[in-house]
Amino acid sequence: MSRSRTPAARDHRFAVWIGTTAALLVAAVAAGFVWLPARQAEGAGGPALWDVICSAIGLPVRHPQAAVEAGVSASNVAWTAATRQLLSEGKAARGAVLAAATCNNCHGANGVGTDAIFPNLAGQSQAAIYKQLEDFRSGRRDAAVMGGYVSGLSPQDVRDLAAHYASLPDPFAGAGGGAGTSADAVARRLVEVGDPLRGIAACAACHGPLAFTPGAPGLRGQQRAYLEVQLQALASGRRHNDISAQMRSVARQLTGQEISALAAYYASPGVKGDR
Ligand code: HEC
Ligand code: HEC
């Protein structure tokens, strides 16, 4: 009789074991996949769970806020086949006439800014010019200066102006590279290899010459002051029209010193008002 009680007691303990393990499993799944994500959604802006795990084990982390902002539409422009078709319909000659009326006062008849805060547009990517003009028009990019000049443009005007500036020869296409200072070495490293531990991809992988992301402007020979102001604005989020926060997530990781080193590296020493 006593022998028959032992297996029964063992069965009971076994059932308790299984029950406890199953309950723990359910609780862990609920906490990890339901409760934590829900809490995270409430406190939007906090670091994503995955990022926390990555940073704990020393892997590169995207900027925590990039994931949040990636879901928000930054621009009305999308790089679809239809957009490319529209771009191909730009007429440079008509754009030149439009540019002469107003734009050239600041961006120069040859597409070189007449002051260091006016970006050079000569030889700039047509897609990049188009996108920025559309973003100024829709208010996705702060248009305190540009707004008055773009509000009256028709969609065809925008395409023609983009075609015009893209067609101008860029006198500074080969510029950049700095003067060999230690700041230039810092910048060159970021440009050519980035900083994987901080999640910074090489600038050259999106802005050329390694590869080109649609809509990423050419940077070589751009005005130094303009580059610096834009990098700061993207870092602080004051400028937020980059699709999927591609550029903000890079700019936020940069120190102030790196921003000025990069601006100096890419800038052309010869641009008017540059130094
Ligand atoms: C009063 C000076 C002024 C005039 C006129 C002007 N712009 Fe601008 N433009 C600027 C400034 C300054 C910026 C930099 C953005 C800012 O500070 O708002 C800019 C930015 C741009 C950019 C973005 C460049 C980049 O690399 O992102 C484009 C494209 C542009 N302007 C095209 C034009 C066109 C086309 C016209 C004429 C319809 C025009 N601008 C008229 C001053 C001017
Ligand atoms: C993942 C791709 C990517 C990487 C890496 C990247 N950029 Fe960008 N960058 C972009 C895109 C796309 C834009 C255009 C944003 C928009 O649509 O307004 C941009 C815009 C910019 C602008 C504004 C230019 C203008 O004419 O207004 C600057 C300056 C800039 N990037 C500098 C850098 C520097 C410096 C690095 C390296 C430290 C870098 N970028 C790395 C994709 C990238």
Q: How far is the CA of 107 from the centre of ligand 1 (A)?
A: 7
DSSP letter, residue 34 = I
Whole-angstrom Cα distance, residue 101 to residue 89? 21
Q: How far is the CA of 262 from the centre of ligand 2 (A)?
A: 12
Whole-angstrom Cα distance, residue 172 to residue 128? 17
Q: Among residues 181, 178, 194, 209, which one has the least CA distance to residue 254?
A: 194
Is 253 a pocket residue for ligand 2 (Cβ < 6 Å)? no
Is 247 a pocket residue for ligand 2 (Cβ < 6 Å)? yes
Q: What is the pTM of this model?
A: 0.80
Blockwise average pLDDT, block size 10, the chain, 275 residues: 58 82 79 60 49 55 52 86 95 98 96 93 97 97 95 96 97 79 91 95 96 95 94 97 96 97 84 42
Domains and CATH numbers, the chain: 2-70 (no CATH), 81-167 (1.10.760.10), 182-266 (1.10.760.10)
Q: Among residues 120, 97, 124, 98, which one has the least CA distance to residue 110?
A: 120
Token pair 């970006």 is at which residue? 119
Whole-angstrom Cα distance, residue 185 to residue 269? 17
Ligand in closest contact with the CA of 234: 2
Quick one: pLDDT at residue 44? 44
CA dihedral 174, 180, 183, 188 (to 10 degrees): 50
Is 203 a pocket residue for ligand 2 (Cβ < 6 Å)? yes
